[in-house]
Structure 1
Amino acid sequence: MLQAVLLDISGVLYEDDRPLPGALQAVQQLQDKGYPLRLITNTSRQGRAAIHRQLTAMGFAVTPQQIFTSPQAVLRHVRMAGLRPYCLIHPGLEDEFADLLDLPEPNAVVLGDAEMRFDYAHLDRAFQLLLDGAPLICMGDNRYFRGQGALHLDAGPFVRALEYAAGTTALVLGKPSAAFYASALEDLGASAEATLMIGDDVIADVQGALAGGLRACLVRTGKYRAGDELRAPTAWVAADLAEAVARFC
């Protein structure tokens, strides 16, 4: 029996700062039915507070506590492990990571979608630390994201470049990693087998959720590309979030 729901955000709830058709009503329907809900994302260009402001401005009636991000998962891990990270992150995350910036003698590398900071100097600094044995902790390894009607490079290609150069393997604490889904379920207080993940990314959202023991639904919006459903034949497929929610609400 379905007891809880995880929703990807960009490409499922909205595109280019506009709610997708039926998305506002679908989220409200889940709220009205009392489903425990988390909006989850690998987005690492902005913090949870900024995401909440963006969603509420679009009309989504959600609380900050219903949003769970890969930067939050990374912060939790770094603090529990007592690490001093070198943070190669986007300026939009600096408030959330304020107490971890510019620490002396860093012994870990934290990497998100740093956008214009993915230059030689920053990447080479991370490389030198990795060569000295620092772990590489990443907010996600997505290859690309969709914005302004086009696909753009995400953090994944830079994760792979550092892994290759330093001969290391990243700890990925964003989708599709099992660690991220376990952390989101812990935050939600739900079991994997009773939770449905709805997303537009067949790898990060659908394959990742299925590998973690969750149910999954692929929607044909956002990053979806024709034929993606063939890569996850056990997942539900729906035209959009409204159609997916209508199946069980």
Structure 2
Amino acid sequence: MVAQHALKAVLVDLSGTLHVEDSAVPGMQEALKRLRSAPVMIWFVTNTMKECKRDLLERLTKMGFDIAENEIFTSLTAIRNLLEQKQVQPLLLVDKKALPDFTGIATDDPIHAVVIRLSPEHFHYKMMNEAFWEVSLSL
């Protein structure tokens, strides 16, 4: 006899599943409404690194999705959680649109970590040299 397990949660990827850039995938608002009627927890996941959760949520809302901010888990969320868990002060080399997700994280001296995300304006020799210098001073 095979044991049956009830589905308890669903992870829904955002980009390419619910939306592509600023356009909703046709029918996904209705599909999400149907999924919400099921007795499961729903989390929305994405590896986006170019915008903060608040801006992402605003875009999704404009596309007609009913999603709460605490239901979204991004790569920036994972980074922030790790920084808080390890209690380190990072040098943040991230796009300025991503910075709100790090509000409240101490970034003053000493720097214990360097966070590098999609941020071409920070990815140059002078900034990399500063990052390695800061980290070497804290060792």
Assess if the C-alpha contact under 8 Å between 1:108 and 1:134 holds in 2: no
Residues in 2 aligned to 1:107 and 1:113: alpha-carbon distance in whole angstroms: 20
Output one character per residue of 1:210-243: Cα deviation in whole Å (capped at 9) or x when no partner: xxxxxxxxxxxxxxxxxxxxxxxxxxxxxxxxxx
How many residues in Structure 1 have an aligned counterpart in Structure 2?
134
Residue 120 of structure 1, aligned match among 111, 116, 125: 125
Residue 24 of structure 1, aligned match among 24, 29, 32: 29
> How far 1:94 sits from its partner (Å)?
1.7
Q: Please, what is the CA RMSD of the aligned residues?
A: 2.2
Output one character per residue of 1:153-175: Cα deviation in whole Å (capped at 9) or x when no partner: xxxxxxxxxxxxxxxxxxxxxxx
Matched, 1:91 2:96: yes
Counterpart residue identity of residue 102, structure 2: F
> How far 1:122 sits from its partner (Å)?
2.1
> How far 1:123 sits from its partner (Å)?
2.5
Unaligned runs of 5+ in 1: 136-249
User: What's the TM-score, normalizing by structure 2?
Assistant: 0.83
> How far 1:101 sits from its partner (Å)?
6.0
After TM superposition, the structure 1 = structure 2 runs for residues 130-149 of structure 1, keeping only pairs within 5 Å, are 132=136
After TM superposition, the structure 1 = structure 2 runs for residues 24-103 of structure 1, keeping only pairs within 5 Å, are 24-100=29-105, 102-103=107-108
Assess if the C-alpha contact under 8 Å between 2:52 and 2:101 holds in 1: yes
Q: Greater CA radius of gyration, 1 or 2?
A: 2
Residues in 1 aligned to 2:14 and 2:78: alpha-carbon distance in whole angstroms: 16
User: What's the TM-score, normalizing by structure 1?
Assistant: 0.49
Output one character per residue of 1:84-131: Cα deviation in whole Å (capped at 9) or x when no partner: 11111110122222333641120111122223322222233234445x
Residues in 2 aligned to 1:65 and 1:101: alpha-carbon distance in whole angstroms: 22
> How far 1:134 sits from its partner (Å)?
7.0
Residues in 1 aligned to 2:127 and 2:48: alpha-carbon distance in whole angstroms: 20
Residues in 1 aligned to 2:137 and 2:41: alpha-carbon distance in whole angstroms: 40
Assess if the C-alpha contact under 8 Å between 1:87 and 1:101 holds in 2: no
